[in-house]
Chain A
Amino acid sequence: MATNALGLFNAPSSALEAAGALKGAGFDSPTVISPIPIHGIDEVLGKKKSIIKRFTFFGALFGGIAGFALAAGTAVMYIHATGGRPIIAIPPFLIITYELTILCGILATVLGFILGSRLPAFKNRVYVPEVAVDKFAVTVLCEDPERLKRAHDILQSSGAEEIREVEGEQ
């Protein structure tokens, strides 16, 4: 199991500073763990490309097509003429299409979220319970003791309240 350096901060700004410094020192992508989403984190760690929007879009598209196909297909499979309306009646089927568009869009978004955020966590991941309350943590994977020492120094100089060595995956 890999060793990670983890610094605890009491303010998001100093955590961001530490993360930026670590990144600048050649550590690959430090992880910032926080109780609330931090504003301006994109500028420090780089903009994250999210695949969720594609999931939502294609899910909704699939849902729309599937919705109309479901309504029209089942109407054709066993024909029951009703009320002098055509078998494939557009206005009511559009409503089915609409609902299934949204349903599939929602389900695809969930799938996108699950895949994009790497949840659920099946391996032991670096974590300290304080970050769920009011602390901000910056953690980075360190392959050897020397890098651990360097990370330690950087975190220290950024104003970490506490620095720990944690076993686990990033």
Chain B
Amino acid sequence: MANQDISFAQINDDVVRSLVVTGRKYYITLAISILVTFTCFVGPWFYQLRYGIGAAGMNHPTVWGTYLASFIFWIGLSHSGTLLSAVLHLTNSEWRKAMYRSAEAMTLFSVMVAAMMVMVHVGRPWFVHWAVPYPNQMEMWPNFRSPLMFDVMAITTYMTGSIIFIYMGTIPDFAAVRDRTTGWRHHMYVLLSLGWRGTDTEWNRLHWAYTFLAVLIVPLAVSVHSIVSWDFALSVVPALHQTIFAPYFVVGAIYSGTAGIVTVMFVLRKYMKFEHLITKLHFDNLGKLLLVMSLLWTYINMVELFTGWYSESSEEYEALNFRLFGFYGPLYWEMILFCALAPLLLISKRFRTSFVPMLILSIVINIGMYTERFLIVATSLPRQYLPDAWGMYVPSLVEIAIMVGSFGMFTTLFLVFVKIFPSISLYEVKETLPEPQPKPQADSGAP
């Protein structure tokens, strides 16, 4: 909820200002992020396309590497936005209204970056369209029994669903912004708002459509990340072939996604000057959610260890041993520190309502979560059944560059977004304010 003493008009002013008035800081950030995207993502990727996947550090037992870890990370980051927004919409939460738009945008862009990571990951991206069902002269269709095909279907659906969900929720705001802008912006918003007016019929239809979308999107979002987990869990690789993986990934995804929202909220609040709209209350609530997710995540992580430990099968045991005490052992303990211990600070209300510590914690959590994804790939595959084929995987420079570049790409997309989409939902924030009361009779009647 926003502060109660701001007026409807002020919200319009704030949002239009955030779209139209652009400071030098914005352009500098945009330039840097575009530069990073090109030098760290596009460039190395082209090198890799010419040379082959050999440019990355993957080798014989560890054929999957950081590209896949980044893919899961971005998909995970995408998980909170739309899911949280839909759940909170269905439960009529007031505090959702000031933050859901940018959370959804985060979803959308991280799904896009994740899709790019798939392109980077595969050996022959120029044939990636073969994983799409379309009639062709070869009469070949994709293999729908494959967990990777589930991924293709789920992520396509999720991306489509997220685009529609964010767009539909923004139509009234496009209309509000349309009236205040001129030139090309005006024409863009005319088209985007579809000629929305805000009549009773329109509101009614929007409400129903939006609610149905939310209902459809909640199970979808849960399915997407469990399907991503099955890429691993449906194999017979020790330490990956686990039933806990689906909930583990879903929880991890919501966890890192919520931390991502905290980061984005902080940046929006600070640089778009939404201090009166995004308040301590939001950080408090998000902090509680983070705490819950962190505890859940820790629990599932323990269960994962237990099954390996109790099974006492030599390959499970070896994989576990390698993860905890092997070459990447320190990374594992870093992950525990960042994702299981550090978030315990959230128990304190004072911590939850202070902005900078929350920002630092959210970034720390996401570093930990990236480590988690990296460890899943880099400590399971090198220790499989046959010890002769054991190996070691270290990311190459190209891989690290592309990982950094993917952050640049995400930032670029987000920066473009904040200048086109009203990043605060105008009408829903207004809804949280006290309803305007009719003025005393004396004032009315004047034409």
- Chain A contact residues, CB within 8 Å of chain B: 9-14, 31-38, 41, 45, 48, 50, 52-53, 56, 60, 70-71, 74-75, 77-78, 80, 82-83, 85, 89, 92-93, 95-96, 98-100, 102-103, 105-107, 109-110, 112-113, 116-122, 125-127, 129, 131-134, 156, 159-163
Most buried by A among B139, B140, B141: B141
- A–B complex contacts, Cβ < 8 Å, 14 sampled: A52-B212, A74-B144, A75-B144, A92-B144, A92-B145, A95-B150, A102-B220, A109-B212, A110-B164, A116-B205, A117-B201, A127-B197, A132-B12, A133-B176
* Given A35-B430, A36-B431, A132:B161 Cβ within 8 A: no
Most A CB contacts (10 A, CB to CB) among B180, B219, B438 go to B438
CB-nearest residue of chain B relative to A60? B216
Question: By the criterion CB–CB under 8 Å, are B436 and A134 in contact?
Answer: yes
- Give CA–CA (A38, B143) in the complex, Å: 50
Contact status B216-A106, CB under 8 Å: yes
Identify which of B213, B227, B431 contacts A95 (C-beta below 8 A): B227
> Once the chains are docked, how many angstroms separate the CA of A35 from the CA of B154?
36
B445 interfacial by beta-carbon distance below 8 Å: yes
Beyond A85-B145, A132-B12, is A121–B194 a contact (Cβ under 8 Å)? yes
- A38 interface neighbour in B141, B200, B447, Cβ under 8 Å: B200
Collect the chain A residues with CB atoms within 8 Å of residue B204's CB: 37, 48, 50
Residues of B within 8 A of A50 (CB): 204-205, 208
Nearest 3 interchain pairs by C-beta: A121-B195, A134-B8, A74-B141
- A49's nearest neighbour on chain B, judged by CB, is B204
- Cβ A37 vs Cβ B437 within 8 A: no
Interface residues in B7-60 by Cβ distance below 8 A to A read 7-9, 12
Chain B contacts of A32 at CB under 8 A? Answer: 199-200
Chain B residue at smallest Cβ distance from A37: B203
Q: Does B441 contact A (CB under 8 A)?
A: yes
State whether B200 touches A41 (Cβ < 8 A). yes
A144 to chain B: closest CB distance in Å? 22
Contacts of B7 in A (CB 8 A): 134
The docked-state distance in angstroms from the alpha carbon of A156 to that of B446 is 9
Task: Please determine whether B160 and A78 come into contact, CB atoms closer than 8 angstroms.
Answer: no
Contact A117-B431, Cβ < 8 Å, known A75-B141, A159-B438: no
Task: Write out the residue numbers on chain B whose beta carbons fall within 8 Å of the beta carbon of A122.
Answer: 195
Structural contact, B201 and A113, CB atoms closer than 8 A: no
Hey, which chain A residues are within 8 Å of B213, CB to CB?
A: 106, 109
A53 touches B212 (CB 8 A): yes
Residues of A contacting B212 in the complex (Cβ-Cβ under 8 angstroms):
52-53, 56, 105, 109
Q: Name, among A96, A105, A109, the residue most crowded by chain B CB atoms within 10 Å (CB to CB).
A: A109
B156 at the interface (CB under 8 A from A): yes
- B124-141 near A? 1/0 per residue, CB < 8 Å: 000000000100000111
**B8 pairs with A133, CB closer than 8 A:** yes
Q: B162-186: which residues lie under 8 A (CB-CB) from chain A?
A: 164, 168, 171-172, 175-176, 178-180
B444 touches A160 (CB 8 A): yes
Give B contacts to A, CB under 8 Å: 7-9, 12, 133, 139-147, 149-150, 153-154, 156-157, 160-161, 164, 168, 171-172, 175-176, 178-180, 194-209, 212-213, 216-217, 219-220, 223, 227, 426-427, 430-431, 435-439, 441, 443-447
Q: A103-B157, A106-B157, A110-B168 are in contact. List 12 more A-B contacts (CB 8 A).
A: A31-B199, A48-B204, A52-B205, A52-B208, A99-B150, A105-B212, A106-B160, A113-B168, A117-B201, A121-B197, A134-B436, A159-B441
Task: Determine if A14 and B150 form an interchain contact, defined as CB atoms under 8 angstroms apart.
Answer: no
* Residue in chain A with minimal CB distance to B437: A11
Closest to B226 in A: A95
Question: Of residues A10, A34, A35, A82, which shows the largest number of chain B Cβ atoms within 10 Å of its Cβ?
Answer: A35
Give the residue name and chain of the A residue nearest to B142 (CB).
A74
For the complex formed, measure the closest distance between the CB of A40 and the CB atoms of chain B, giving whole angstroms.
Answer: 11
In the complex formed, the residue of A with least CB distance to B144 is A71
Q: Give the nearest-CB partner of B227 in chain A.
A: A95
User: In the complex, what's the smallest C-beta–C-beta distance from B417 to chain A, in angstroms?
Assistant: 21
Which residues of B have CB within 8 Å of A159?
Answer: 438, 441, 444-445
Q: Which residues of B contact A75 (CB under 8 A)?
A: 141, 143-145
Give complex CA distance A60, B219 in Å: 13
The answer to whether B198 touches A35 (Cβ under 8 A) is yes
In the complex, chain B residues whose CB is within 8 Å of the CB of A93:
144-145
Smallest beta-carbon distance A163→chain B, Å: 7
| Residues A161 and B201 in contact in the complex (CB < 8 Å), given A11-B437, A35-B176, A121-B194 | no
Contact call B198/A34, Cβ cutoff below 8 A? yes
User: In the docked arrangement, what's the CA distance between A156 and B447, Å?
Assistant: 9
Q: How far is the CA of A159 from the CA of B12 in the complex (A)?
A: 25
Please, which residue of chain A has its CB at the minimum distance from the CB of B433?
A36
Determine the distance from Cα of A78 to Cα of B141 in the docked complex, in whole angstroms: 8
User: Shortest distance in angstroms between A57's beta carbon and chain B's nearest beta carbon?
Assistant: 9
Does A53 contact B208, Cβ atoms closer than 8 Å? yes
Bound: A162/B208 CA distance, A = 32
Cα-based distance from A161 to B144 in the complex (angstroms): 63
Whether A103 and B156, one on each chain, are in contact in the complex, defined by CB atoms closer than 8 angstroms, is yes
Contacts of A53 in B (CB 8 A): 208, 212
